[in-house]
Structure 1
Amino acid sequence: MNNKKIALVTGASSGIGAATARRLAQAGYTVYGTSRRGAQLPGQQYAMLALDVTSEESVAAAVAEVMQREGRIDLLVNNAGFGVAPAGAEESSIAQARAIFETNFFGVVRMTLAVLPHMRAQGGGRILNIGSVVGFLPMPYGALYSATKHAIEGYTESLDHEVRGWGIRASVIEPAYTKTTFEANLLAPDTPLSAYRQVSAAVTSRLQTLMAGADDPAIVADSVLAAAQASEPKLRYTAGPLAARLRLMRRFMPASLLDAGLRKDLRLA
């Protein structure tokens, strides 16, 4: 039996997920990454499994595969997700809203439901959910993505209280702007309106400027490792100095000043 701790990381083909899987492998974990195709790339330090977090059958099959190979799962990192390009909330249909929640939020729920029985049976484990600073701050022209991350914050906090009795802890990792392919894979809003075209373009341009100075995914991976290895884990881990500053601003700055600063930063009238 493998004496290393076993980690399962969703959305590990690129970006934060890939950086996290590499960092955990370097730290001595036996890591299973997942993606929809499960493609194994040359030189990867971890195995890849096919997994679609929107499918209960796919989730169950991937978790069963890890359990069959290793007999346990010590760490689950829920990272898989996508966003919608900057647009007004009015520009996404109910169907598009459901689609983003199916992956970003219900995907987390499905994975958690699949691993918890095994973690309870083995008497311990850790569940780390990749959130975002927009899980505690508003993101104008990103309402749906922000809503999924707010949902992850609430779910994780409640979950952590419920599972402590079995030696299981849950935490949320909160990155700020991070250099990944995430921005290149944003969905276009499916009900675009001319009324939002100009301001959406302006916000997109501003975000592109901010992304030029974004954090490396390794910074998020380091926060994941810290949360995974902490003897007394915190509920929230900000990833990088900007995320830490924003968390402090949210906590201590008057709401009116925070609101004005956010609008100024995004160049909103």
Structure 2
Amino acid sequence: MTDKKHLGIALVTGASSGIGQAAAQRLAEAGYKVFGTSRRSSPAGGHPFDMLTLDVTSDESVDAAVAQILRRAGRIDLLVNNAGFGVAPAGAEESSIAQAQSIFDTNFFGVVRMTRAVVPYMRRQGSGRIINIGSVLGFVPMPYGALYAATKHAIEGYSESLDHELRGWGIRVSVIEPAYTKTPFDANFLQPDATLDAYREARAVVSKRINEVMATATEPSVVAEVVLKAAVAAKPKLRYPAGALASRLQMLRRFAPAGLVDAGLRKDLRLDTIPASQSVSPLLQE
């Protein structure tokens, strides 16, 4: 058995399953020393990477995990921000302000916390890579998934701005943009906490459609391969679509007329089958 080239020290959040686990596995196979993290204590389970407990919503937890890695490995060369969750299909007003803040605290501010914790060490090293797992929903809308889409739009803007700021220290930032991916993510959707009967039919229609497309969704290994590509690229790009559907959507968003994209989105999600009258207030009918 030949020794693999050592590519550096990688930290992958949300590595207990799905994209995070696949990315940690692929990076380890390629030659990185990988530390995966999970909010709940979780053994690596035979995978070629170490698992640490880390809650991206806690400053103390983030600082403790980063300090532990630095004690054990001496440096961090690659940060993959993957931890996140979504809300089950629902109208934007069906989540309370507290729930909206919760999803941003994990999906967006979790990225900010991890970045703030790691970047000072990368600056001292004079090198580093940060890869944020975004989504095609960072550049296209998701009706009945507005809060999740908003977090991914935020990651896009944050990542692009950060990449400009850090280049002078030899640090580059990229966003991976998968479409539907076969992970336990959808099984762990947070249920909306302020449901309204006005959206009942819409929730059912969109949920059914999402279940249909998940049957042909991209495998996490496809996304993991793109993560590795971005990590080792001599001249990394800012955005990397992951999978055929993501690439098509990126091209459509860039070149197709806005009206065509809008109509295609509504048709795909079956939004035009939802009666508009379901949400009309009796006060507006007077």
TM range (shorter): over 0.9
Secondary structure of 2:199's partner?
Answer: helix
Instruction: Please report how far the alpha carbon of residue 4 of structure 1 lies from its aligned counterpart in structure 2 after TM superposition.
Output: 4.5
Instruction: Please report how far the alpha carbon of residue 38 of structure 1 lies from its aligned counterpart in structure 2 after TM superposition.
Output: 3.1
**Is 1:131 aligned with 2:117?**
no
The match for 2:108 is 105
> TM-score, normalization: structure 2?
0.93
The match for 2:208 is 205
Conservation of the 8 A alpha-carbon contact between 2:139 and 2:153: yes
What is the identity, as a one-letter code, of the residue corresponding to 1:159?
L
**Is 1:91 aligned with 2:122?**
no
Aligned residues: 268
- Measured against aligned partners, the alpha-carbon deviations of 1:142-170 in whole angstroms (never above 9, x if no partner) come to 00000000000000000000000000000
Whole-Å Cα distance in 2 between the matches of residues 191 and 217 of structure 1? Answer: 32
Whole-Å Cα distance in 1 between the matches of residues 183 and 46 of structure 2? Answer: 20
The match for 1:233 is 236
Match of 2:191 among 182, 188, 204: 188
> TM-score, normalization: structure 1?
0.98
Secondary structure of 2:87's partner?
Answer: coil
What is the identity, as a one-letter code, of the residue corresponding to 1:196?
Y
Secondary structure of 1:207's partner?
Answer: helix
The match for 2:261 is 258
Whole-Å Cα distance in 1 between the matches of residues 123 and 75 of structure 2? Answer: 11
Whole-Å Cα distance in 1 between the matches of residues 11 and 105 of structure 2? Answer: 20
Secondary structure of 1:234's partner?
Answer: coil
Conservation of the 8 A alpha-carbon contact between 2:181 and 2:217: yes
| Structure 1, gaps ≥5 residues long | none
Percent identical residues: 70
Match of 2:170 among 167, 170, 173: 167
**Is 1:33 aligned with 2:20?**
no
The match for 2:77 is 74
Match of 1:148 among 132, 148, 151: 151
Match of 2:123 among 112, 120, 123: 120
Whole-Å Cα distance in 1 between the matches of residues 35 and 8 of structure 2? Answer: 11
- Measured against aligned partners, the alpha-carbon deviations of 1:44-73 in whole angstroms (never above 9, x if no partner) come to 110000000000000000000000011100
Whole-Å Cα distance in 2 between the matches of residues 42 and 196 of structure 1? Answer: 42
- Measured against aligned partners, the alpha-carbon deviations of 1:124-148 in whole angstroms (never above 9, x if no partner) come to 0000000000000000000000000
Whole-Å Cα distance in 2 between the matches of residues 30 and 238 of structure 1? Answer: 25
What is the identity, as a one-letter code, of the residue corresponding to 2:14?
G
Conservation of the 8 A alpha-carbon contact between 2:11 and 2:76: yes
Structure 1 segments (4+ residues) deviating >3 Å: none
Instruction: Please report how far the alpha carbon of residue 37 of structure 1 lies from its aligned counterpart in structure 2 after TM superposition.
Output: 1.9
Whole-Å Cα distance in 1 between the matches of residues 120 and 82 of structure 2? Answer: 20
Secondary structure of 1:83's partner?
Answer: coil
User: What root-mean-square deviation, in Å, do the aligned CA atoms of Structure 1 and Structure 2 show?
Assistant: 0.9
What is the identity, as a one-letter code, of the residue corresponding to 2:159?
T
- Measured against aligned partners, the alpha-carbon deviations of 1:16-54 in whole angstroms (never above 9, x if no partner) come to 000000000000000000001231143111000000000
Whole-Å Cα distance in 2 between the matches of residues 41 and 114 of structure 1? Answer: 23
Whole-Å Cα distance in 2 between the matches of residues 204 and 84 of structure 1? Answer: 11
The match for 2:51 is 48
Tell which structure's C-alpha radius of gyration is larger.
Answer: 2
Whole-Å Cα distance in 2 between the matches of residues 118 and 80 of structure 1? Answer: 21
- Measured against aligned partners, the alpha-carbon deviations of 1:216-265 in whole angstroms (never above 9, x if no partner) come to 00000000000000000000000011100000000001001100000000
Secondary structure of 1:158's partner?
Answer: helix
Whole-Å Cα distance in 2 between the matches of residues 38 and 24 of structure 1? Answer: 21
Whole-Å Cα distance in 1 between the matches of residues 234 and 167 of structure 2? Answer: 13
Conservation of the 8 A alpha-carbon contact between 2:44 and 2:50: no
